[in-house]
């Protein structure tokens, strides 16, 4: 029963085409979102991945919540419930920058052959690497990062 606003940002392609414009137009016209407001914006120039990420979310308060999805993922129907539980458990920690829906597959400072992927028996765990798939930054830490 929560209100969840949806913000969709399209990066402008390096070489725009009529087909791309038609896809964006069709997506905009066909989108149905019953959980809150929808805001769709299209960049006026190609931003690239770095700038797209840095402008993906601008929290207006320390209590704002967001999750950043790329266009090539599919999420579980339970993602929102899991994320709300994770916010309840971790959002007041200053030593955690955010959460990710991504299954961790990278181990820092290890060669691929020595790679032991943490799993914690399927339970959430704290990890020093950012998971960029379904990343939900905490507003205060995200604001500090953007100021950096």
Per-residue pLDDT tens over the stretch 12-54: 999 999 999 999 999 999 999 999 999 999 999 999 989 999 9
Q: What are phi and psi of 56, to 5 degrees?
A: -65, -35
Residues 6+ apart with CB under 8 A from 130: 97, 98, 100
Alpha-carbon distance values, 45 to 10, 11, 12, 19 (Å)? 10, 7, 5, 17
pLDDT at 114: 63
Whether pTM > 0.95 for this model: the answer is no
Q: Tell which residue, 42, 38, 55, has the closest CA to residue 10.
A: 42
Q: pLDDT tens for residues 91-140? A: 888 888 999 888 766 666 666 666 666 677 777 777 777 777 889 999 99
Measured distance CA(139)–CA(96) in Å, rounded: 11
The overall average pLDDT reported for the chain is: 87
Q: Which helix (H) or strand (E) holds 71?
A: none
Residue reference for tokens 């798939």? 133
Classify residue 3 by burial, with Cβ atoms within 10 Å: 0-12, 13-18, 19+: exposed
DSSP 62: T
| Tens-place pLDDT, residues 61-82 | 999 999 999 888 888 999 999 9
Specify the DSSP class assigned to residue 8: E
CA of residue 83 relative to chain centroid, distance: 11
Nearest to 100 by CA among 125, 124, 135, 68: 135
Give the whole-angstrom CA distance, residue 136 versus residue 134. 6
């Amino acid at each position: 029963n929560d209100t969840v606003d949806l913000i969709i940002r399209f990066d402008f392609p390096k070489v725009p085409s009529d087909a791309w414009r038609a896809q964006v137009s069709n997506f905009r016209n066909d989108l149905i979102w019953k959980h809150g407001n929808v805001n769709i914006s299209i960049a006026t120039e190609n931003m690239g991945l770095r700038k797209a990420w840095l402008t993906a979310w601008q929290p207006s308060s320390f209590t704002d919540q967001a999750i950043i999805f790329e266009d090539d993922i599919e999420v579980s129907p339970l993602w929102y419930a899991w994320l709300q539980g994770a916010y309840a458990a971790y959002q007041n920690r200053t030593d955690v920058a955010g959460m990710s829906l991504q299954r961790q597959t990278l181990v820092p400072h290890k060669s691929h052959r020595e790679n032991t992927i943490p799993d914690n028996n399927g339970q959430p765990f704290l990890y020093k690497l950012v998971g960029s798939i379904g990343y939900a930054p905490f507003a205060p830490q995200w604001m500090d990062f953007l100021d950096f």
